[in-house]
Amino acid sequence: MRPNKIKQMWQDGKCATLGWLSVSHGFTAEIMARQGFDALCIDLQHGTSEMNDVWPMLQAISQTDTTPIVRVAWNEPAAIMRALDLGAYGIIVPLVNSAEEAARAVAACRYPPVGMRSFGPIRAAQYGGADYPANANDEIIVMAMIETKEGLANLDAICATPGLDAVYIGPADLSFALDMTPRADNPDPVHLATCDKIRETAHKHGIKAVMHCAGAEFAAGAVKRGFDMVMLTSDIGCMIAGVRKQLDDFKAKTD
């Protein structure tokens, strides 16, 4: 089976970079995949993509060695299994509040006898290889998002869930959980300390911690703080930033 690049990097003690796909288009996915990210995530929770958009975007990513990841909209087994059958090598599950919910997410990503994933890797076997069924349980990454008051209260138990590979910090919803207004790359000391606590708890249980960032400076700081993967930027974020820069530069030279 095609090895999971992110698992290999983590085994080597390296921090991985993650790009974010909010636009539902194969060409956008291809362009982002060719920029050098270690992994790319198709966002089904807050992005514009639906499940029917996933397979052409995964095909576009597959032209590179970038690892394809999907964030599902909810902890729902059918959607998780569908994304995996289409070729996702990692699943991010939002709003995980308990160890039971984390275990349900893991079970949906693993074939029996360790999980409940139904067999039918319609595209995954073409992408992963003929021995995909025998090795998928070891290669697929499962990440649970920690971003609610309940999730924080159950953090230790969630991180102890057998088969869970990582916890993923959702900083905006985490701000709500901390009674703050969401903002990108939140510098608030309480928010930072909470993120560090999530990282420390994950590492205590032998799993990885992922930080969702909005720019290079904050992401670099997260790497220095010990996070194992950083979401650096998104397609739509780059589009807006690029357009604004060109407009600002133009106005500065013509005013």
| Whole-number Å distance between alpha carbons of 72 and 215 | 23
| Whole-number Å distance between alpha carbons of 55 and 121 | 12
pLDDT of residue 255: 87
Domain limits for position 137: 5-254
Q: What are the residue ranges in the chain where pLDDT is below 50? A: none
pLDDT of residue 141: 98
Instruction: Report the DSSP beta bridge partners of residue 68.
Output: 40
One-letter amino acid at 239 equals M
pLDDT of residue 92: 98
For 229, the token pair is: 């993967």
CATH of the domain at 222: 3.20.20.60
Q: Which of 17, 51, 75 is nearest to 233 (CA)?
A: 17
| Whole-number Å distance between alpha carbons of 61 and 77 | 24
Question: What is the pTM assigned to this prediction?
Answer: 0.97
pLDDT of residue 190: 98
Instruction: Count up the domains in the chain and report the number.
Output: 1
pLDDT of residue 245: 96
CB 145 within 8 A of CB 117: no
For 15, the token pair is: 């921090």
Q: Which of 194, 155, 148, 156 is nearest to 174 (CA)?
A: 148
Is 46 annotated as catalytic? yes
pLDDT of residue 235: 97
Mean confidence (pLDDT) of the chain: 97
Q: Which of 214, 154, 146 is nearest to 175 (CA)?
A: 146
Instruction: Kindly tell me the sign of the dihedral angle through the C-alpha atoms of 236, 52, 89, 25.
Output: negative
| Whole-number Å distance between alpha carbons of 236 and 242 | 10
For 60, the token pair is: 């576009």
CB 199 within 8 A of CB 227: yes
For 219, the token pair is: 């992401």
| Whole-number Å distance between alpha carbons of 54 and 24 | 8
Neighbours of 218 (CB within 10 A): 18
pLDDT of residue 29: 98
Active-site pick, 25, 46, 203, 205: 46
